[in-house]
Amino acid sequence: MPRPRPRPRALAAALALTALAPALLAGCGSAVDGGRRPFEEMVDNGLTKYVGAAKSSVDLRDGDVTEYAFDPASGPLCLHGGTFHAATRDQGSDDLLIYLQGGGACWHDLCVAVDEAPANTGVPEAGILDTKLAANPVRTWNIGYVPYCDGSLFSGDVDIDDDGDGTIDRYHRGLRNLSAALDVIHTAFPHPKRILLTGASAGAYGTVLATALVRQYYPTPDLMVIADGSAGLGKPEDPGFVTSLLDEWNIAHLLPASCVDCVADGNLTKLIAWGLDQDPTIEMGTISSYGDFVIGTTFLGIGPDAYGEAVRAATGSLAASHPQRYHRFLFAGTKHTTISIDSTTNLDDVDFNGLPLSGGLGEILGRFDVTAVEGVTVADWVGYLVAGSPMWVDELAPASAH
């Protein structure tokens, strides 16, 4: 198959890699100003402190799927103390899809979150994970599947006793869980040529920190990121909301000093921009409806109109500052996420590690090969990204359509 024609941002990335060749040949990955590695400030602040710390055992082998259980005594835990699991699917590919599952969030005055990652569920066959879906451009890729059960967007690092009775009520072990999952994924797939890091809902928020951590495991492969169902937004009228969550979940210390006023506006978009500046080879896309009910109404409480305005403004700023490497897929309506299920998915048959899709929740989800803007589906759009196509551009439904 002929090599895809490089799009402008790919050419820019190639030039950057050429300039950084000595660092890459030394096995050090990319470099930034002053010769520092990408995300080195976050590493210095403790990003990688749990790498290699967890103990795992195989609790399921089923064809090309291997599932791992992590010893709770070694750190990983679900929100209420359950065992954390993760899984891989080895299809013999040179490419790797890492998928961060969604499932709500939990803080002191709102706790709506999946709190378990049950055993013997393997890798779901749905959406971008569906290996039989012809429209799925990454159906043949190896998969690292990371369930979500920590309530802190794969980032928290604190145990909380809410009522002061001496018993832990919330184990926010997101950073430990993510690191443990990446340990086994890296062992299974140590040398991919390309990586697509994806996350849905809470997993999309999780890609902000995970991008930096994945780059530490894999310094040199092409790294593409898709955040589905999150633009990194907080509450526009309450800039302190995000800061309070970072403090409650013990994440704030990871923020780099060079990201000036990083979350002062109440969003994570400056941190996302900082990450894109850190590594000039990363490409990133955001998928959202204008009126996402789950994020805009349930969790942020700002409603569809305000959320739509915030999504356009925040993603527009990122697209303007990184026009070759950041693009958006913004569609009409109130659906939440698109990559988790597809046109063939029977919601009663798919198990996303404790996330209930049948019933009301499944009805508000978009579908990977159905949700579209001007005839371009999300699956098409992701395909353009991984193929290096110049057709990977902003796909924006009219603002009035929401």
The tens digit of pLDDT for each residue in 188-210 reads 999 999 999 999 999 999 999 99
Q: Model confidence over 283-294: pLDDT tens digits?
A: 999 999 999 998
Q: What percentage of the chain carries pLDDT values higher than 70?
A: 87
Tell me the pLDDT band of 359, cut-offs 50, 70 and 90: low
For residue 284, tell me if it sits in a domain. Answer: yes
Tell me the pLDDT band of 1, cut-offs 50, 70 and 90: very low
Q: Model confidence over 58-84: pLDDT tens digits?
A: 999 999 999 999 999 999 999 999 999
Q: Model confidence over 141-159: pLDDT tens digits?
A: 999 999 999 999 999 999 9
Q: Model confidence over 177-189: pLDDT tens digits?
A: 999 999 999 999 9
CA neighbours within 13 Å on the CB side: how many for 298? 17
* In contact, 197 and 224? CB cutoff 8 Å: yes
What is the predicted pLDDT for the residue at 301?
A: 87
Question: 10 Å Cβ neighbour count for 348?
Answer: 10
Flag whether pLDDT at 138 surpasses 60. Answer: yes
Residue in this structure with the two tokens 């309070």, named with its chain if needed: 244
Count helices and strands in the chain by DSSP H and E runs:
10, 16
* In contact, 232 and 135? CB cutoff 8 Å: no
What is the predicted pLDDT for the residue at 238?
A: 87
Specify the number of domains making up the chain: 1
Q: What are phi and psi of 92, to 5 degrees?
A: 70, 25
How much is the average pLDDT of 268-283? Answer: 97
Nearest to 141 by CA among 204, 103, 111, 99: 99
Flag whether pLDDT at 2 surpasses 60. Answer: no
For residue 178, tell me if it sits in a domain. Answer: yes
CATH number assigned to the domain comprising residue 80: 3.40.50
For residue 22, tell me if it sits in a domain. Answer: yes
How much is the average pLDDT of 303-325? Answer: 93
Tell me the pLDDT band of 400, cut-offs 50, 70 and 90: low
For residue 31, tell me if it sits in a domain. Answer: yes
Q: Model confidence over 8-60: pLDDT tens digits?
A: 444 444 433 333 333 333 344 555 555 678 999 999 999 999 999 999 999 99
**Structural domain harbouring 132:** 8-401
For residue 70, tell me if it sits in a domain. Answer: yes
Flag whether pLDDT at 362 surpasses 70. Answer: no
For residue 132, tell me if it sits in a domain. Answer: yes
Please give the helix or strand (H or E) that residue 308 lies within, else none.
helix 303-321
Rounded (10°) angle between helices 174-188 and 202-217 = 50
Q: 33 versus 313: which is more confidently predicted?
A: 313
What is the predicted pLDDT for the residue at 172?
A: 99
For residue 384, tell me if it sits in a domain. Answer: yes
Q: Model confidence over 334-347: pLDDT tens digits?
A: 999 999 999 999 88
Reported pTM: 0.91
Mean pLDDT over all residues of the chain?
90
Nearest to 9 by CA among 203, 256, 225, 282: 282
For residue 1, tell me if it sits in a domain. Answer: no
